[in-house]
Amino acid sequence: MSTSSRAASAARQAWLSALLLLGVLAAALLLLARAPARLDLTAEREYSLAPATRALLARLEDRLQVKLYFNRDIEGAEVLLPARIVVENLLAELAAASGGRMVVETVDPTTDPLSATHAREVGIQPISLPTGDVGSVRYTALYQGLEMRYQDRGEVIPFVVPAELEYAFAARLAQLLAARRPVIGVFSREPEGPPEFPGMPLPPPPPERVYAELRQVLAQRYGVRDVRLDAGSALHEELAALVVAQPQDMTAREVYELDQYLARGGHALVLLDHERYTPGADRSFQREALVSGLETWLRGHGVHVATHLLWDERGYPVAVAEERQVLPTGRENVSEIKMPYGLWPRLEADSFAADNVATAGQQSLFLFWAHPTAVDQAPAGLRAEVLLRSSARSWLLPNDVTADWNPENIDSLKRQALSSGPASSWPLAVALRGSFPAQFDADAVPQPDAAAAADAQPAPEPAAHVSALAPGLLVVIGDADLFQNAFLEPGWDNALFAESLIDWLAQDESLIELRSRGARERPLRSFYREYVEARGGLPEAEAQREELDRAARRSQLARQRAIAWGNVLAPPLLLALLGLAHWRYWKRRSARPYRPRGGGAA
């Protein structure tokens, strides 16, 4: 064999060996994919299955069939591919944690008409996604839903959002494992909703049914039922939680039923207002006074909902005027001028109780004409906690102020608030936990309304009068507007807060922890605040406050710049010093006379 052919043969062998090595490495990666080993280094174990999820999976006694509706080829939505891989990986992890009792199957409704029909039947609808080609627009049906079947029951996640999948999965699994779907009762003075007919689309509710959105939000995971409190029924047995929404002129019997519900260990949310505002012409609001009928009963539990309205400097920015500007191109640009409307407080992360599962994960919330709500002194056996607070720059206004949202009135309200006294942070929602003592004597029980009792089908059994029978939970918010249709768009923070609150009232707390799970807020120290606090806080006088504000901002910016540029310049300076030291060392060493080993002179 010639030298060149030997070399060619050696080269071939070497490249083959390299390819073999690549194959070995790829095989090792594939094997690992089947038996994943991972370490979650995050403090909150954000990327590991929560103990609550594992506990639910451990309760499976039968096979849980999970069907994932995905397009195999996601033409036009390729950017969703990484998110889909996250979903598939999480489902694989859940299946592994179930010890073989959970089976995942993926189907593509775009290529399988039977699957498409079934998906529609169970409530999984495709999203129409516009895909742009040059000169034309096409729409692609995109499926990303999940169906869970366990024994004879089923649950559906219509569209899977990877970041919320674990909570959505666990909440539905909890419902599948429960004997029946938990029911939330809603008590309000709204008109009745339109009757439902199976298979028929629901007609729109009347506009006065202001909590229709809230019912829809809750209906995704609970049965929702309108309840009457005057007919005498076993509410505590039927309901997982009760929402008393904007109570008005409650009768003694209705209050008694609520009292007994809590005394039996019920969980109730009271959304209380002293007035109702309706929008009028020219940025005005009409005020109508409300008497809930609950004030005395609440005071009996130590809860006080003030009649004053809250004015918070962190108000919702409302558009009060328009500014028209002609651009150099001749086009007219219209921009809105906004002012913070302090009667609609915007609560931020620091307003929520950090140690409560229902509020810990909440980032923001809007309230509307809210009232300070506090527990003056909780009765024995009850523990009180504040769930929501206004910002530290809040004041109280009388509840008969003109609430119009034109610039002049907003300015006037602001001046009135500033002159009312020192700013403070006011509690806006409270929770009471423990055994609720009855506030009615056993021998002075209000009788049910005869007509209402006759209406009730079937006629309720008269329940025995009880007091502090089992631990209950009462949440009172001094605002009934925050969960009304106009302010409860799906996905808004108000909707998320409603879900969290109801979950807390109705479910296992570990599931709520799952919802608020995730990286906790890790704020930076505020040089601005440190500067202001070092000078005794912001003064009340506006001119002095603005001056201190400017100085604090300047100081903050200067310190931030010093830190940033210090980090940029420190390594080069350090290296320059090291280089200099190194250079001097070599210079000194080279200047030394040569001494051979063994001690001989040069």
Phi, psi of 145 (to 5 degrees): -110, 170
39 versus 179: smaller Cβ distance to another protein: 39
219 versus 563: smaller Cβ distance to another protein: 563
Amino acid at 514: L
# binding residues, another protein (CB under 8 A)? 60
Residue among 55, 442, 551, 570 that touches another protein (CB under 8 A): 570
* 131 touches another protein (CB under 8 A): yes
Task: Say how many Å lie between the first and final Cα of the chain, rounded.
Answer: 59
106 versus 544: smaller Cβ distance to another protein: 106
Residue among 354, 558, 569, 581 that touches another protein (CB under 8 A): 569
Helix axes 165-177, 51-58, angle to 10 degrees: 30
Min separation Cβ 46 and another protein, Å:
7
Point out which span in 66-74, 412-420, 482-490, 546-554 binds another protein (CB under 8 A): 66-74
DSSP state letters, 236-295: HHH-SEEEEES--S--HHHHHHHHHHHHTT-EEEEE--SEEEEE-SSS-EEEEE---S-H
Min separation Cβ 119 and another protein, Å:
19
Are the C-beta atoms of residues 510 and 51 closer than 8 Å to each other?
yes
Point out which span in 20-28, 215-223, 301-309, 391-399 binds another protein (CB under 8 A): 20-28
* 319 touches another protein (CB under 8 A): no
Q: How far apart are CA 334 and CA 366, in angstroms?
A: 27
Burial of 410 (0-12, 13-18, 19+ CB in 10 A): buried
17 versus 286: smaller Cβ distance to another protein: 17
* Cis amide prior to 471 (ω within 30 degrees): no
Residue among 336, 455, 521, 547 that touches another protein (CB under 8 A): 521
For the chain, give the number of residues: 602
Phi, psi of 164 (to 5 degrees): -110, 10
Q: What DSSP character marks residue 456?
A: S
Min separation Cβ 447 and another protein, Å:
59
103 versus 581: smaller Cβ distance to another protein: 581
**What tokens were used for 569?**
């310049």
103 versus 562: smaller Cβ distance to another protein: 562
Are the C-beta atoms of residues 194 and 468 closer than 8 Å to each other?
no
* 575 touches another protein (CB under 8 A): yes
Residue among 113, 491, 536, 572 that touches another protein (CB under 8 A): 572
* 574 touches another protein (CB under 8 A): yes
User: In sequence order, what E strands does 94-247 have?
Assistant: 102-107, 127-133, 136-142, 144-150, 153-157, 183-187, 223-226, 241-245
Point out which span in 178-186, 363-371, 378-386, 569-577 binds another protein (CB under 8 A): 569-577
Q: How far apart are CA 373 and CA 476, in angstroms?
A: 8
* 522 touches another protein (CB under 8 A): yes
* 576 touches another protein (CB under 8 A): yes
Amino acid at 108: D
* 11 touches another protein (CB under 8 A): yes
Residue among 59, 72, 553, 554 that touches another protein (CB under 8 A): 72
* 47 touches another protein (CB under 8 A): yes
Q: What DSSP character marks residue 352?
A: B
* 601 touches another protein (CB under 8 A): no
Q: How far apart are CA 180 and CA 587, in angstroms?
A: 86
* 139 touches another protein (CB under 8 A): no
Residue among 50, 68, 74, 91 that touches another protein (CB under 8 A): 74
* 134 touches another protein (CB under 8 A): no
Q: What DSSP character marks residue 206?
A: P
Residue among 279, 564, 581, 595 that touches another protein (CB under 8 A): 564
Residue among 14, 55, 354, 581 that touches another protein (CB under 8 A): 14
Residues 75-114 that bind another protein (CB under 8 A): 75-76, 78-79, 81-82, 85
Helix axes 165-177, 81-97, angle to 10 degrees: 40
Cα-based distances in Å from 307 to 256, 373, 477, 544? 24, 9, 13, 32
114 versus 519: smaller Cβ distance to another protein: 519
Point out which span in 43-51, 423-431, 504-512, 547-555 binds another protein (CB under 8 A): 43-51
134 versus 334: smaller Cβ distance to another protein: 134
Residue among 380, 451, 568, 591 that touches another protein (CB under 8 A): 568
Q: Which residue has the tokens 């490249």?
A: 15
Q: How far apart are CA 348 and CA 359, in angstroms?
A: 11
**What tokens were used for 56?**
């639910």
508 versus 513: smaller Cβ distance to another protein: 513
- Residue numbers of the site for another protein (CB under 8 A)? 3-4, 7, 10-11, 14-15, 18, 21-22, 25-26, 28-29, 32-33, 36-44, 46-47, 72-76, 78-79, 81-82, 85, 131, 519, 521-525, 560, 563-565, 567-572, 574-576, 578-579, 582
